[in-house]
Structure 1
């Protein structure tokens, strides 16, 4: 079975070009024109990867990633941000948003396929690593898997700072 990629962009042209490129490489592709449509689609059919434009109406890329992370069966789906200013997005911001990577528009078909393949293989390695039990002699020396560790809630001020950072980035894009 081929890997499913959900492409989310308010530009019909971008959706068409990205879809065509991914399909030609053997991916199964679904499209959505904004974050709300993408969230609804992802809840019906869980994608293996979401490629999302950062600046969109109704629900931007940051809001979509946060919404995905709040749904148990979508929380681990890797997300790659697509933006004209992706080269300005740092690793810290990616970590804060929960996105795995970013790609700068316009991009070549080769760059799109490279980022898509890298994101899917990186996610698969992380997923496989998280599910493999440690060797018997190492069990006492490593922390429990992330899924067994209760998450620390973000304080109101941390969430507000994250929203402010996303708003500022959206303004600059």
Structure 2
């Protein structure tokens, strides 16, 4: 029985790179975002999850929390992978206790060693079934192994993209916050103007009543 590794990452480059590294050792399942990753996890019950942190809609930590809500997924080891450790630390204070963390870029043998160590720990704790024999290579088309340089290049490119996305999102957030302040100030000014107009209208109504009263007191005013 081949152990199943679920890779949840919005980058197809990273998913294919990890699949290349794990080829012939584990069955690799893929998901391109947190929502579909949760669906795959519930359907397949993987032995381990590799989870990217920076993803649209649901980030890695939100996805982890969603996975942990289910009893049959609660003990599955999760490796959070990211080239932006500072982003992870903003959401989860160190030391990371709910998951194992692997910073990108990482070498293939480091990833394999981490996975093997976590799976062995789960077996020792009785959370995972012991295999009667060595894992059978997963059925797949022959794939040329990536070199260490190619692996680092892919991760380096992905990190640059993620940093650019995060930086732009931060800029948009600041702009949005400034716009919110401007809108709030405009609303206050409009509210003040509305109050002034209301006060003026009341004054006009009083003045009209006084004029009407004077007219009524004049000779022939009631005609």
Normalising by structure 1, what TM-score?
Answer: 0.66
2:84 & 2:113 partners in 1: Cα distance? 18
* 1:2 Cα deviation from its structure 2 partner: 1.1
Look up the match of 1:94. 96
2:82 & 2:21 partners in 1: Cα distance? 17
Q: How does 1:17-56 map to 2 (within 5 A)?
A: 17-24=17-24, 26-56=25-55
- 1:35-93 deviation per Cα after TM superposition (whole angstroms, max 9, x unaligned): 10100001111000000001111211101111111011111111000011349859844
How many pairs align?
125
Look up the match of 2:5. 5
1:55 & 1:124 partners in 2: Cα distance? 30
* Structure 2, gaps ≥5 residues long: 128-169, 171-223
CA RMSD, aligned part only?
2.1
Look up the match of 2:71. 72
Larger RCO (alpha carbons 8 Å, 6+ apart): 2
1:75 & 1:29 partners in 2: Cα distance? 20
* Structure 1, gaps ≥5 residues long: 129-170
The structure that is helix-richer by fraction is 2
Q: Which structure has the larger Rg?
A: 2
